[in-house]
A and B are shown apart, each in its own frame.
Chain A
Amino acid sequence: MIEAILITLSITILIGLVLGYASIKLKTTGDPIVDKIDKILPQTQCGQCGYPGCKPYATAIANGEADINQCPPGGDDGIHKLADLLGVEYKPLNAEHGEPKPKSVAIIDESTCIGCTLCIQACPVDAIVGAAKQMHTIIEKECTGCELCLPPCPVDCIDMQVIPETTENWKWKYPIYKIEQQN
Chain B
Amino acid sequence: MNISDKIFKFFGGIKPEGHKQISTRNPIKRLPLPKELIIPIRQHVGKMPNIVVKIGDRVLKGQILAEPVANMSAATHASTSGYVKEIKPMNIPHPSGLPDQCIVIETDGKDEWIRLKKIDIENISLSNLLEKLKHSGVVGLGGATFPSHIKLNANRIQTLIVNAAECEPYITCDDMAMQEMTQDFVDGVNLIMHILNIPKTIIGIEDNKPQAISKLNSVLDSSKNIHLKIIPTVYPSGDEKRLIYLMLGVKIPKEKRPTELGIQVFNVATLISIARFINYGEPVISRVVTVTGALGQPNNYQALIGTPIQQLIKDAGGDPSQEVIMGGPMMGFKLPHTDVGVTKAMNCLLAVTDEMKSKASTEMPCIRCTKCVEVCPAQLQPQELYWHAKSKQFEKLTDDYKLFDCIECGCCSYVCPSNIPLVQYYRYAKSEIREQAKSSEIADIARDRNEFRLFRLEREKKERAERNAQRRAQVSDEDKKKLIEEKKVAIEAAMKRVEENEE
Residues of A bordering B, CB below 8 Å: 38, 41-45, 53-55, 123-127, 142, 144, 165-167, 170-175, 177-180
Contacts and interface: CB of A to CB of B under 8 A. Distances in A.
A180 B362 CA distance: 9
Contacts of B92: 167
A48 to B, nearest CB: 15
B362 A126 contact: no
Nearest to B363: A177
B260 interface: no
Nearest to A178: B363
B427 interface: yes
B449 A125 contact: yes
Contact of A175 (B94, B425, B430, B432): B425
**Which of A166, A172, A173, A180 has the most B CB atoms < 10 Å from its CB?**
A172
A142 B446 CA distance: 7
A126 B453 CA distance: 7
A167 B41 CA distance: 13
Contacts of A171: 428, 431-432, 434-435
A166 B41 CA distance: 14
A173 B428 contact: yes
Given A43-B450, A55-B451, A167-B94, 16 more contacts: A41-B443, A45-B450, A55-B447, A123-B453, A125-B453, A126-B449, A127-B449, A142-B445, A165-B96, A166-B98, A167-B98, A172-B431, A175-B428, A177-B362, A177-B363, A177-B421
**Which of A54, A167, A170 has the most B CB atoms < 10 Å from its CB?**
A167
A73 to B, nearest CB: 10
Q: What are the 4 closest A-B residue pairs judged by CB atoms, nearest first?
A: A171-B431, A43-B443, A125-B449, A43-B446
A100 B449 CA distance: 23
7 contacts: A43-B444, A43-B450, A126-B452, A170-B96, A171-B431, A172-B427, A175-B424
B100 interface: yes
B439 interface: yes
Contact of A142 (B425, B427, B432, B449): B449
A179 B361 CA distance: 10
B364 interface: yes
A174 B443 CA distance: 24
Contacts of A45: 446, 450
A43 B362 CA distance: 41
A124 B363 contact: no
A45 B451 CA distance: 11
Interface of B: 92, 94-96, 98, 100, 362-365, 421, 424-425, 427-428, 430-432, 434-435, 439, 442-447, 449-453, 456
A55 B454 CA distance: 11
Given A43-B447, A167-B96, A167-B98, A124 B453 contact: yes
Contact of A166 (B95, B100, B365): B100
Nearest to A146: B446
Nearest to B360: A177
A177 B362 CA distance: 7
**Which of A43, A44, A144 has the most B CB atoms < 10 Å from its CB?**
A43
Contacts of A54: 447, 450
B393 to A, nearest CB: 10
Given A45-B450, A167-B94, A170-B96, A179 B428 contact: no
Nearest to A172: B427
A67 to B, nearest CB: 21
A38 B96 CA distance: 34
B445 A167 contact: no
B96 A144 contact: no
Nearest to B429: A172
A140 to B, nearest CB: 12
B446 A125 contact: yes
Contacts of A166: 98, 100
B431 A53 contact: no
A177 B425 CA distance: 11
A126 B428 CA distance: 34
Contacts of A41: 443
A179 B443 contact: no
A44 B449 contact: no
Contact of B100 (A55, A125, A167, A174): A167
Nearest to A126: B453
Given A166-B100, A167-B100, A173-B428, A179 B446 contact: no
A170 B98 contact: yes
Contacts of A53: 450
Nearest to B439: A42
B362 A179 contact: yes
A41 B450 CA distance: 13
A144 B428 contact: no
Given A167-B98, A170-B96, A42 B428 contact: no
Nearest to B454: A53
Nearest to B431: A171
Contacts of A142: 445-446, 449
Nearest to B432: A171
A177 B413 CA distance: 14
Contacts of B424: 172, 175
Nearest to B426: A172
A98 B451 CA distance: 24
A16 to B, nearest CB: 39
Nearest to A177: B363
B459 to A, nearest CB: 13
A171 B425 CA distance: 12
A107 B315 CA distance: 50
A172 B428 contact: yes
Nearest to B443: A43
Nearest to B444: A43
A162 B424 CA distance: 27
